[in-house]
Amino acid sequence: MKLQTYSDQNLVKLYLTGDESVLEELLRRHKSKIYTSIYLLVKDQYLAEDIFQDAFIKVINTLRSGRYNEEGKFLPWVMRIAHNLVIDYFRKEKRAPVITSADGSDVLNLLQIHEENAEDKLLREQTHTDLRMLIQLLPDEQKEVLIMRHYADLSFKEIADLTDVSINTALGRMRYALSNLRKMMKVKEVT
């Protein structure tokens, strides 16, 4: 019987019995979808390839350690691993998010871009550092949506699909995240 006719579940079982060749079939079957979802988040081919490889290394290690809980959901499980690696990447990078308002201006860029003197530059950098710190204080669900929307520039539909929630839930989490950030910024100004 050809490997192409096997279900993901059967391929995983074969892999767990020591048949390493089935991993190639799982990779062939799902690489495009997993890689594309990573690329849409990071928008960089080489970074997407690195994260894809890291995801499959994690998959292999989890399978080999016997920690994989087979429920016939191999692809969603791998997608979740890849998604978490992307979020981890953005957290490590701590890149300042860009949040645009209805008129297209950057809400979080409190300082105008101009020929800055050293004091302006220091103030801008401190503002971004403070903002990143405040973002880390948000509840995980709000932080996740904020990071995916503004670090990875995903649509709310893409965010909803990746986090397995409705678009309204994703929008609500974003609204709460921005509201909480505003509150924290006011408290920080007072102190």
pLDDT digits (tens, 9 = 90+) for 33-84: 888 888 888 888 899 999 999 999 999 888 888 888 767 688 888 888 898 8
Span(s) in the chain for CATH 1.10.1740.10:
1-95
Q: Where in the chain is the domain with CATH 1.10.10.10?
A: 121-190
**Is residue 177 over pLDDT 80?**
yes
Tell which CATH architecture fits domain 121-190: Orthogonal Bundle (1.10)
- Indicate whether 86 pLDDT > 80: yes
121-147 tens-digit pLDDT: 677 677 777 777 888 888 888 888 887
pLDDT band at 183 (very low <50, low <70, confident <90, very high): confident
Q: Is the pLDDT of residue 103 over 60?
A: no
How many alpha carbons lie under 13 Å from residue 50 in its C-beta half-sphere?
A: 9
Checking if the pLDDT of 155 tops 60, the result is yes
Q: What is the model's pLDDT at position 129?
A: 76
pTM score, whole prediction:
0.52
- Residue 109: its pLDDT value, please? 46
- The per-residue pLDDT for 169 is 92
Q: Which two tokens stand for residue 178?
A: 């921005």
Q: What is the CATH number of domain 1-95?
A: 1.10.1740.10
Predicted local distance difference test score (pLDDT) of residue 110: 41
Mean pLDDT (whole number) for 159-178: 88
Q: Residue 98: which pLDDT band, with cuts at 50, 70 and 90?
A: low
